[in-house]
Amino acid sequence: MTRRTVIGVIGPGDDASAAEREAARRVGQLVAAAGWVTLTGGWNAGVMDAASRGAREAGGLTVGLLPGRDAEGASPGVEVVIPTGLGEARNNLVVLASDALVCCGMSAGTASEAALALRAGKPLVLVAPAQETAAFLRSLRRGEPIAVADAEAAIVALKRLLEPS
Amino acid sequence: MTRRTVIGVIGPGDDASAAEREAARRVGQLVAAAGWVTLTGGWNAGVMDAASRGAREAGGLTVGLLPGRDAEGASPGVEVVIPTGLGEARNNLVVLASDALVCCGMSAGTASEAALALRAGKPLVLVAPAQETAAFLRSLRRGEPIAVADAEAAIVALKRLLEPS
Amino acid sequence: MTRRTVIGVIGPGDDASAAEREAARRVGQLVAAAGWVTLTGGWNAGVMDAASRGAREAGGLTVGLLPGRDAEGASPGVEVVIPTGLGEARNNLVVLASDALVCCGMSAGTASEAALALRAGKPLVLVAPAQETAAFLRSLRRGEPIAVADAEAAIVALKRLLEPS
Amino acid sequence: MTRRTVIGVIGPGDDASAAEREAARRVGQLVAAAGWVTLTGGWNAGVMDAASRGAREAGGLTVGLLPGRDAEGASPGVEVVIPTGLGEARNNLVVLASDALVCCGMSAGTASEAALALRAGKPLVLVAPAQETAAFLRSLRRGEPIAVADAEAAIVALKRLLEPS
């Protein structure tokens, strides 16, 4: 069995803050160092771009599920570009293709992915979430998003979830 | 031009409360009375079922976009059953196919639809939302969900949005 | 149970011949007269447009599953416009949402729908197919496309399939 | 720019002949040897399985876009398993994600992918096609499927298409 563990990294595109981008870059680096594949929405912006570049810097494999029908707008950090042609319906694929997801920052698109992750019962780790984000996602009750302070803590949480001793 | 106005009604399935089901039934009735089409996720449960039945009681047209690949599990209130075979990716179709959406209650699936509605810039009316729901959706900033007290107020809000004088 | 029977009408868009458009218009009229819903890919061109207009002329309900994310390009004959935002992936929805399909003419997109119909085991009626179309679709062995000479014969075939005495 | 070239390999699942499986295995080996990624529908059967195993044997990267919502049924030859949850609508993703496609054998699902490839203007190479397959696909006129005798000739054709000198 050659199947590799895939970690989805989700978060805002153009509206991502510098801190969110930096957290995503660090998550990508650590996911790669753990030997996992980094999966994002593929876009050349914000958290998707930062996570992909971070993973590549650390020699990791990166996959991007783009909303469009071709590779236009893909992050240069994405090795395997998968144009889905599905628009925002691709958000559910980001969720299903991930063994667990890490969320850096929030936006409407990101919120749909976080909600779908809970719906699908996928482990979801929130890095430094805003108070209303944590309160809302916890109120959904299905699944239990884990809130952590930074990228390093996110990886510790993922290892606990995915490699139970 | 024969195109009809379509109102999406979203909310929990099996976990819907009696009050949420009743609000959804009433929304369906009033949507039908306004001459609009009622669109739901099609399921024979909770808000989807109640809205479809309400609309049918009032002689309205009902459309259901099901997650499965056949009509199994469709609400008997749905006249035009559209099995999408897309699983939860169909949530984005519920949003895109609606001119505006009314949300009665909350769940992980519903949250994904509400977030995708904001993402797509679709008018979203929340009926009696919980405080953390309203706070979170407003924090997403794209679009501005409107909170109302009941089904009647939701229809007033829809008429203002869709039929500006 | 209020669920209505849905007939998908598939065929070329801009490249449809006058004869194919006329057959599609007549199929739409007869589908409507039979009390069935006419479903198409929704586009304002070729067979999709002709079938939708024909059905409307006869007072039938028409549904269009568009590839785009809004109603742009929808046939004026479509009453319930469902923008899927899926691009050509919506072809599988046209198939799944239909109780049976009628095919007038051929194109690459149409071929994908005909093949998916056979894949899904949906009854498929070919109106005046080219010889290589009939030969190929029959070679796929799953399902058995029925070839007929004209719209009237297509409706006879549909009635036999859907309303077995 | 780290984006890698992706070759889709399509063909029947359970109904694939021994010759079709052998051709697919050889295509996978040669795609991997060329430094390209092998993409399939991911299934543990027929051409998809054979191509993935062949590519892995040669040290290549393999990606599978599965119809289901989890990894069940994935070929052990697939390294990056992407459960799409889209059913047969995922066929369009196999096409969009491929820079070019190689087709070994035919089935209803395969026919939909070949037709969608022509629709999308993707290069399509048919390995030892049946006469009615070649005749039909050529009649669709958009794009021009290339017919070759074996896996080696398929790779020669791909190199000419993708690495024009």
**In terms of CA atoms, which chain A residue is nearest residue D120?**
A69
Q: Are D115 and C112 in contact (CB under 8 A)?
A: yes
Can you give the pLDDT at residue A125?
Answer: 98
Kindly state whether residue A54 falls inside one of the protein's structural domains: yes
The single residue listed with the structure tokens 């589908």 is: C31
SS3 C69: coil
Segment holding D102, helix H or strand E: strand D100-104
Tokens read off for D13: 């699942």
Kindly state whether residue B2 falls inside one of the protein's structural domains: no
Can you give the pLDDT at residue A144?
Answer: 80
Instruction: Tell me the shortest Cα–Cα distance from A164 to chain B, in angstroms.
Output: 26
> Mean of the pLDDT values across residues B13-40?
98
Q: How confident is the model at residue B105 (pLDDT cuts 50, 70, 90)?
A: very high
**In terms of CA atoms, which chain B residue is nearest residue C98?**
B82
Can you give the pLDDT at residue B165?
Answer: 65
Task: List strand residue ranges (DSSP E) for chain A, in order.
Answer: 6-10, 37-40, 62-66, 80-83, 100-104, 124-127, 146-148
Kindly state whether residue C165 falls inside one of the protein's structural domains: no
How much of chain D exceeds pLDDT 90, in percent?
95
- Interfacial B residues in 22-41 facing A (CB < 8 Å): none
Question: How far apart (Å, rounded) are the C-alpha atoms in residues C55 and A18?
Answer: 55
Kindly state whether residue A1 falls inside one of the protein's structural domains: no
Which residues of B are less than 8 Å from D69 in CB distance?
87
Q: Which domain holds residue D54?
A: 7-160
Can you give the pLDDT at residue D144?
Answer: 80
> Which residues lie closer than 8 Å to A164 by C-beta, 6 or more apart?
none
Q: Which of B82, B86, B112 to mutate to test the interface with D (most CBs of D within 10 A)?
A: B86
D165 pLDDT higher than 90: no
> Mean of the pLDDT values across residues C54-69?
98
Mean of pLDDT over chain D: 96
> Mean of the pLDDT values across residues B89-96?
98
Question: How far apart (Å, rounded) are the C-alpha atoms in residues B44 and B48?
Answer: 7
Which residues of A are less than 8 Å from C88 in CB distance?
85
CA dihedral angle for residue C118, residue C124, residue C128, residue C130, rounded to 10 degrees: 0
Question: How far apart (Å, rounded) are the C-alpha atoms in residues B134 and B114?
Answer: 11
Can you give the pLDDT at residue C144?
Answer: 80
Which residues of B are less than 8 Å from A133 in CB distance?
136, 139
CATH number at residue B143: 3.40.50.450
pLDDT, tens digit (0-9, with 9 covering 90-100), for C25-43: 999 999 999 999 999 999 9
Kindly state whether residue B108 falls inside one of the protein's structural domains: yes
Contact D6 A97 (CB under 8 A): no
Q: How many separate domains does chain D show?
A: 1
DSSP string, B121-139: T--EEEES--HHHHHHHHH
Q: How confident is the model at residue B144 (pLDDT cuts 50, 70, 90)?
A: confident
Question: How far apart (Å, rounded) are the C-alpha atoms in residues C68 and C87?
Answer: 6
Kindly state whether residue C65 falls inside one of the protein's structural domains: yes
> Which residues lie closer than 8 Å to A131 by C-beta, 6 or more apart?
none
SS3 C5: coil
B20 pLDDT higher than 90: yes
Kindly state whether residue A165 falls inside one of the protein's structural domains: no
Contact D87 B88 (CB under 8 A): no
CB pairs under 8 A between A and B: 100
Interface confidence (ipTM) of the complex: 0.96
Select from B1, B80, B83 the Cβ nearest to the Cβ of C80: B80
Question: How far apart (Å, rounded) are the C-alpha atoms in residues D16 and A15?
Answer: 49
Higher-confidence residue of B143 and A159: namely: A159
pLDDT, tens digit (0-9, with 9 covering 90-100), for A54-109: 999 999 999 999 999 999 999 999 999 999 999 999 999 999 999 999 999 999 99
Question: How far apart (Å, rounded) are the C-alpha atoms in residues D9 and B145?
Answer: 45
Q: Are D76 and D44 in contact (CB under 8 A)?
A: yes
Is B85 an 8 Å CB contact of chain A? no
Question: How far apart (Å, rounded) are the C-alpha atoms in residues B48 and C104?
Answer: 36
Q: Look up the pTM and report it.
A: 0.97
Q: CA C147, C150, C155, C156 torsion: positive or negative? A: negative
Question: How far apart (Å, rounded) are the C-alpha atoms in residues D88 and D72?
Answer: 16
Tokens read off for D59: 């040290």
Kindly state whether residue C2 falls inside one of the protein's structural domains: no
Question: How far apart (Å, rounded) are the C-alpha atoms in residues D98 and A131?
Answer: 42
C143 pLDDT higher than 80: no
Residue C81 Ramachandran class (φ > 0 left, ψ -120 to 50 alpha, else beta): beta
C74 pLDDT higher than 70: yes
Rounded to 10 deg, the angle between the A131-139 and A108-120 helix axes is: 30
Which residues of B are less than 8 Å from D89 in CB distance?
85-86
Q: Are A119 and B89 in contact (CB under 8 A)?
A: no
Chains that touch A (3 or more CB pairs under 8 A): B, C, D
CA D150 to chain CA mean position, Å: 14
Is C69 an 8 Å CB contact of chain A? yes
Segment holding C39, helix H or strand E: strand C37-40
B143 pLDDT higher than 80: no
> Which residues lie closer than 8 Å to A88 by C-beta, 6 or more apart?
A67, A109, A112, B92, B116, B119, B120, C85
